[in-house]
Chain A
Amino acid sequence: MKEKDRKFYLASVTDRFVRGQMDRRSFLRTAGTLGLGATALGMGFGSRPFGVTRALAQEQLQPSAEVLSWLKDVAKPFAGTTLKLATESTPPSNAINSQLKKYFEEATGIRVEIEVLPLEQVLQKLTLDVASSLGSYDLYYIDQSWSASFSEDVFDPREQLQEKPDLAMPNYNIDDFMPALVDGIAKYGDRWVGVPYDIPIFIMIYRKDIYEKLGLKAPATFEDLLNNSVAITKEMGPNLYGYAGQMKSGHYALECEWTSMLWGNGGSIFNADKKFVGNDERGIAALDYYTRLKEAMPPGVDQWTWDGQGQAIAQGVAASMLSWGEFFPYFDDASQTKVSGLCEAVVPPQPVALRKPEECGYGEIPGVGHQGGSSLAVSRYSKSPDAAWIFMQWATCADTQALITTLGGGTGPTRASVYDDPRVKANARVGAGTTRHLSVVRETIDKYMGSEPDLPEWAQLSSDTIPVGLGKYFAGSYGSSKEAMDDIASQVETVLKG
């Protein structure tokens, strides 16, 4: 059958199917005879259920020949080894687990088993592994808030590069990791606790259509953010609110958003003497600002973590949020949200004032772009540290990161060079897995990133003491913001005293 005839026949068959003159089974059989799968027919079946349209051909989404060749050579002695990694369900881990590790396994003969768990369960598993020194896991996924706790239990990658030149990946270029991320995520004291692996960071995401409709400009300052949010809520509420927060009482999410408000209003968590100062004049101003902003948020916001916050934007309930950049590709996915193509990303609003890092304690770095993230490291207790080191280099090299960003749905790379990779840039269009927000992510990392303090008690303070106190304040348990912050300050001091 000629191509032209085939198309005409297909058109007529499709027409009959749409009009109900042909059953689905017959239609599919005929379409199959014509060499068309259901995906090509746009029926939403097939192996990519969310309909991610890729801007690149499949062959461009495979590891480079150079990398595979190095893996084949270097890993020969380790063929047959099995490596284990416990990780949170993050885009890099999922992309490696689902799509990329098969290339590594084929090239090396090393089997990689990745256990995906919620973050707190990863911590439990790692703690058990460290306490027992059993080496159940060869690689550790280390959230930035745990770096102090695990710093002595993993190899410093710089030492591994120096001590094992025969295992070093050519052009691995450890200096390519963005310095701000190395400081914020992977460093504790002078040691590198692995290398930066993923970087969720707060950026400003807003509904461009709503802003344009009301004649507003993207919030450039904290004042803009408040005024715009209030104006939208006043104009369009209760159908649509100006801002969505992540304010669940007692949850780490509330602490994350609060730190952005605190830093953006010129405050800090600790001063240079390592004393909690969230209750100083700027701290009180920050909480008052947060309280005013909450009035422009949808009811029920104090039950939301970042999950609910993201859903509020995705469902068209709120017009802006200052939150994790990883949400942006999700918003662009027309099969998942009602706002595909309607959101824009900009750098976080300029702060009212900003304290300098040297004015703060425990390595705290004030910045509205609150940074999360994790590092990947080889466990000191691993029974196959060399094989694990080869895997780690492959998983965090520029080539793999570009693939992770492309396949993993537009997650932010931790290497500077990957932002300029043609494969990553090719996905900078409206649609699922977009990378069109990554220039904003990069600029935020470089200029506006805020890092939480590093201290062993931080896990308790950030996930319990502070968000519980803030939750009580927003529930009306305190007479004033000053009273709430003074109480939180006294509780923090109690925890620090042990």
Chain B
Amino acid sequence: MNDNKRCIVSLNTTILLLALLFFGTASFAQQITINEHNISLEKALKRVRSQSGYGFVFDRNDFKGTHMIDIDLKNVSVEEAIRSVLIEQPLTYSIKNKVVIVKSKSRNTPLRTVMVKPVTVNVVGLITDESGKGLSGVTITVKNTLESTETSETGIFAIKNVEDKATLVVTCLGYEPKKVIATKKPVNLKMVSAIKTLSEVHIISTGYQFIPKERATGSFVLIDSALLNRKVSTNILERLDGVTPGLLFNKNAMGNTPEISIRDRSTISANANPLIVLDNFPYDGDISNINPQDVKSITILKDAAAASIWGARAGNGVIVITTKTGSYNQKPLINFNSNVTFGSKPNQYYLPQLTNREYIDIEQFLFNKGRYNSKISSGYMFLSPAVETMLQRRNNVITDAREAAMLDSIAGHDNRADLNTYFYRESLNQQYQLNANGGGRYNKYYISLGYDNDLASNVTNSSSRFTVNANNTLSLLKDKVQFLTGIMFTSSNNNVKGSGYQPLYPYENVAGANGQALAVTDGTLRLIYADTAGAGKLLDWHKRPLDELNESYYHSISRLTDYKLNLGVNYKVIPNLTLSLNYTYDKGFNETSEDNSQESYYTRNMINSLSQIDPVSGAVKRPLPLGDIISNNNNSFYSHYVRAQTNYENRISNKHAINVIAGYEIKAYQSSQNYATLYGYNPATAMNLNSTINPLQDYTYYYNSGTTRIPVSMGNAGTIDRYISYYTNGSYTYDQKYIITASARKDESNIFGVKSNQKGVPLWSTGFSWNIDKEDFYNFSPLPYLKLRATFGYNGNVDKTTAAYLTTQIYNGGNIWGQPVLLISNPPNPSLRWEKVRNTNFAIDFGTKNNRLTGSLEYWTKSGIDLIGLSPIAPQTGISIFKGNSANTLSKGIDFTLTSVNIILPQFRWMSTFLFNYNTDKITRYKVKQGSNGDIVHANYVSPLEGYSYYSIFSYKYLGLDHNGNPQGLLNGQVSEDYSGISNSTNASELAYSGTSTPKYFGSVRNSFTYKCWELSFNIIYKLGYFFRRPSLSNYTLYQGNGTTASYQQADFDVRWQKPGDELITNVPSLIYPGKQIRDFLYTYSDILVEKGDHLRLQDIQLNYQLNKNKFKRLPFSSISLYLYAANLGIIWKAAAKKIDPDYPTSAPAPRTISLGLKANF
């Protein structure tokens, strides 16, 4: 974001006139009561000010020679009070917009003498923004002179001895410059924003304080409400995608990849997610609880100076969400926002798949090989419809012709059509939000109600959310004390009504000719076995996916409730010193209840599997009782946060400004979980039959001699997270040119098994910024705004799953003797330390004349030190994976933002915003020796190679196929088919390094056009310089995984090696029987399957229409706008030739959505 909000800076103390200011509203009680003897005029006016809330402007010089007065007023109006005070004084006054301007009477008397000098006037005035709020930091220059001044904090200015009728030029970054003629009449000028979106956000929030961006040295990004509301989504964080510099949404993730990463990564195995702060405190609830409509702005803290205030939890950056509040002295505003979003069905045909015919041919091949013989001979194990047909042929039950006809009929049915018809639908999402806000002299408030309803693309899934958000700020004791109260309440339900379905065969048929539910094999039992098993004594053993969609068969509901209570008090001890105390209590629970009724296949199968029929009496014994199976899982958490903070602010002369905060904070978080599975549940009576179950008894399956125990899942668990932190953060500004900031923080936490003195980690940062444009020597007029910034410091990260001592985990259920068992979860690690991240940031902010071009360029580095990583370790130690401080990383990059106002015409405006990010990361130290090349290509991130990125993609060098279609690799410099040798080799130089799986360059180009009441914008995002591994044919999965989705959802089957000579035209190995995994791996992890991920994507388009109020005067709205938003529109360009979305190599891409919405203000 451009740092062009300088107008808010309120340090100007060079005012010649002392301006005392205050604003009030008509709602304020205008009754003035003063009873004083022998007080000065100034003091008397101050009394009036404090009681009226009016602002006063006067020149102390005018008060010279005024006499002391006695005053006795009781319940008089403001004007009357002023008149009484000024009576018999050589002064006059005028009142405008609740500002009283007091002037010397003599200056009003016309000059009789012709002056030699030009006539001069003293000009006072008020500069406001479009909403009428005083605008600070506005420069008023007398044209053709050096004289200038700036407005004070409330927008008031005064300039003395200006030539009458001289032109005053009023300029402020982000606003259109204006001119006024200097006269004695007070100026009252409303500035017009130069660029609409740039005017709205001025203040960044660190979660500890609000600071003007100008005073910051660190790397902050502000996303204002206009930009947040450009998108339509139920989740607030999604709205940051594509509009936030330095922030990447990771789509095709590997290893410990967070959903969002800020400036690449700086951890290996610890939490890699940014810290989310909601208003003052980290948010422990589910992010989906936050209604985006309640959010005013989001600040992203990227570097040390920005984030180190959050200390040990800021290693991955911080996202500070600031919610809406009301404003003082504002009449109630009511806003209503509603939208509806339609999403297309997920594309069932996106992933490549064998044709049914091809798949049946494979099954025929396996059948002939005898692959199914053991299943057939078992009598009960599942077979596909095609194999059943082949078996009938083999048993001479049917003829060749009949077999062919039956297989044709099977092949003729595409299961994807069933999925489309019965299991997926167009998604529909509705959002409604109503809020009211406003405020009086003493308070401001905001209250909102939100309701969302979502019908997901799975026919079984739906959810709804209800949110209430209310906050109020009370200002008391002449604004010395402020009370802040707030409550957020969210209640949401996630429903699953009916079971989903995953076909085992591509031709599986779930519906008969009349749409009746057909039975399919469940992957365990053969259909003909299920037909006759138990001779009617058991429950029906068929699985019919269409019936399973029935809500009464299966339903689960997950109720999420979250209360957040905020209390705060700020006390201004003296004008420079404020003490504040904040407290937040957050409580959330998630109650999930799953009901598999006795009708459901799940329950029928479980009951039948353990049933035994007495061969003599024929009686059925059911160890698992009849009735529903219910699983309840209740999670809850609460957290208390308390913070005590001192804010000190001072300006010494007009050169020095100091701002310091220091504080202390405590967090106590506790979560608990309890769960239970109830068997034989009767929903009518809520009774269960768990007491009849013996969990230590081995029961034999009905269909084979295997045994199992009935899982009695019941228990509870909990976690505790505690922090005590001390922090301070300060800035010093000299002459508005140089700003120095520093922060220090110590966090202590309940890290397990660490001595008290090792529980804490001290972290610090410092920063410097230089407003070059304020220097006298700077007069480069094309670039009137130029600022340099630099920061350095440390953030941290903690991984609470590790411990310094031997720690063990209770093994639920104990051993088979029922004895309690502790499993070792952590070997002793006495050298365990906190992770640290060293940050540096260098930045330039700039703005050209009239802000036609504004932007910033930042260069950053992050060094992760003592990172906790997983490493393979010789199994003789007793463990094979070890977690410890084993790594250092170095990442660096560039964030660049440029906003350009391309065209400004009275009715048309075209603006572009360009974001560019470059980042790389590298593992610089890794303690433990690497394993084999097989480890590196499969999962390098488990123990990343030094000198390469965490996200590196390594591959086997592929040397094509031999004349038998066998894949060939490289081993000891030779062409080799020794697949285990290639995998076990530790010579990493024989691997190919492609690059990273995360983009090295990414960003977006957003254009917006405004014409009259129309606004159109679209965002194109780009990701460049990265790679992904394309799935191809796996021999092993095809043969061994027969009867799974993965076995038929494969690419390149048709281009595999089939006959000698094919090796010249294809790289896809031949199929061998049996499939060998290790042979597959050479091809699957070969460099020829690594594709460039580079692409350009049309992320979204938004169209907004603002109704012209003048045309609809009778409507009760003060403004109304309609909008249309379309997202996930598709790829514009990509480097890879294959028809595959680089963000979605293994699953269908996010469906396109289109939203229609309405916003109204009353």
* A and B co-occur in one complex: no
B residues bordering A, Cβ < 8 Å? none
